[in-house]
Amino acid sequence: MLSLCLFSENVKILSLPLKKEVYRLGRSADCDVVLHDELVSREHLCLRKKSGQWTVEDLSRNGLFVGKKKLPNHLQALELNTRYEMGARFSFELQDLELPSKTLLSSGSLTELVVLGRDEASLRVQNAQLMPEGGSAATPISIGREGLSIGRHPSNDLVLTDPAVSLFHARIVIENNSFFFSDLQSTNGSFIDGLKVHRAVLRGNHEIRISSQSFRFEIQENRMKIQRRQRTRFFEILSSDSQMQALFDLAETVAPTDAPVFLSGETGTGKELFAKAIHQLSSRSFKPMISLNCAALPSELAESELFGHEKGAFTGAQALRRGAFERAENSSLFLDEVADLDLKLQAKLLRVLETGDYYRIGAEEPRISQVRIIAASHKNLEEEVAEGRFREDLYFRLKIIPFDIPPLRDRPQDIRLISEEILPKLSWTDGVDEEVLEFLTRLPLFGNVRELKNHLMRAIVQRKARSRSSGPLELEDFRFLTMAAIGQRGRDPEENKKRREIEKALKDNHFNQSRTARALKLPVSTLHDRMKRYGISAKA
């Protein structure tokens, strides 16, 4: 079957069977295939089937190329197996791909479902397959990333000829890092371990019976090796720190899977940048990632923002609304500050992760979730669970692949890299003195990259106020910081006493901030403020 094969930096990321008459490719979310690249136009090109022949029309400003030759803008025939290039990294080919065989889904590789935690070099993953029962020479049927469709129609991945089997009987898919079996409203039903089911999670080995044919669903566990690479730039993130390098490697390894990712770290450490990078490296990157800041959701609208609502579902619901889960279908949903969701919504989110479906407010029928969850929080979720503010079962469902992003003050060598990146964007091309960089590495930058950027902006203003517009930024331009540092060194004895009390209480309570606050008879927010003011680390 003719398919559009999309490549990013010569790595195939999508094979799209051409079943419609028209496809649009571009940066706009309204396109059939969305390409995240500044050099790609909002509507870059249009593929159209005309008189049985697929054609392409370049609608862009930056053009469509074959090799180094720019193609004309008018409509022209697409040639089979020819690489067409656009933007900085995308290309595509029209390929005639063979349909899967009648009994074996040849997807290239098994679905890799990430489970449990990780060690320093690998991840534990699961592969799934169906084993037909009743014969010693049975061939196992691999379940690929696109799932496995079962039925009597020849287009199914697994074709059964029994007349009691419906044309499109059932499907096995991977969603939210779990395997799901769905009966497609068949006439005679589907059975798992002897029970008739419509939809079920496949968590281990099961017997699946469809009409007279039985299969053994099997899960096999192995290891996925994390490839080690050394680089200072990972998409929009700059770092030469060893902890960050390990996170870059982990992101590259888990991005192609559908495993939920949890990003923890202080405000300004780059959690959303990691989420974007993981999405860009995934097979879902042809659609935009949907981001939702859970801390900014009004309590009365939060459920509607997540799951949507039907027209007339409540007072003021004058039209149907698609929620974040629906808008992120076949893409990634970034839930920032997920710890700020109330317990009621946490329960509903847990249900989506466990069952793979959700309800719009006011809806009678569920919708299937086909979303990859990337969650983040600056809070310590273990403490939130201990205090009863976050569900423990949701914690374990979200934190399949944990990323603990270190703050900038724990990787001071990155200050030079980041400063050199930020300054030209602030229209400052003369750099900064080595003495200043050494000074900045000694500062406790609790605001991380945002705080560093603010300091650089203020220093440029100070320089211009001194009527000097050239030469590298000097320590004198950062006088507002040197005065603050002198103030820190000259702190009065009472302040020093408070600092020592907090440090001792943290140590006595194993750096659990909730218990430390109770021991000091302080609100947790006050403890956080004092730790920031005194430059006390949150870790041992």
3-class SS at 23? strand
Do 140-219 and 2-96 have the same topology in CATH? yes
Looking at the predicted structure, is the pLDDT value of residue 118 above 50? no
> How would residue 375 be classed by pLDDT, with cut points 50, 70 and 90?
very high
Looking at the predicted structure, is the pLDDT value of residue 104 above 60? no
How far, rounded to the nearest angstrom, does the alpha carbon of residue 4 sit from its chain's CA centroid?
Answer: 25
pLDDT at 514: 85
Find, among 65, 70, 69, the residue nearest to 92 by Cα.
65
pLDDT at 113: 53
pLDDT at 486: 43
Instruction: Quick: pLDDT tens for 324-350.
Output: 999 998 899 999 999 999 999 999 999
pLDDT at 214: 92
pLDDT at 116: 42
Instruction: Quick: pLDDT tens for 483-524.
Output: 555 444 444 566 677 878 888 888 888 888 888 888 898 888
Which one is predicted more confidently, 8 or 81?
81
pTM of the model: 0.62
User: Hey, what CATH class is 2-96 in?
Assistant: mainly beta
Mean pLDDT across 454-478 = 86
Looking at the predicted structure, is the pLDDT value of residue 45 above 90? yes
Q: Determine the CATH number of domain 408-489.
A: 1.10.8.60
Q: In CATH, what is the architecture of 493-534?
A: Orthogonal Bundle (1.10)
Give Cβ neighbours of residue 75 (< 8 Å, ≥ 6 apart). Answer: 48, 50, 55, 56, 57
Tell me what the pLDDT averaged over the chain comes to. 84
Instruction: Map tokens 């900014």 to a residue.
Output: 296
Euclidean distance between CA atoms 258 and 125, whole angstroms:
11
CATH topology of domain 140-219: Tumour Suppressor Smad4 (2.60.200)
pLDDT at 103: 31
Euclidean distance between CA atoms 19 and 94, whole angstroms:
13
Looking at the predicted structure, is the pLDDT value of residue 112 above 70? no
pLDDT at 414: 94
Tell me the residue length of the chain. 540
> How would residue 106 be classed by pLDDT, with cut points 50, 70 and 90?
very low
Mean pLDDT across 279-299 = 90
Q: Domain-by-domain residue ranges, the chain?
A: 2-96, 140-219, 233-404, 408-489, 493-534
Q: In CATH, what is the architecture of 233-404?
A: 3-Layer(aba) Sandwich (3.40)
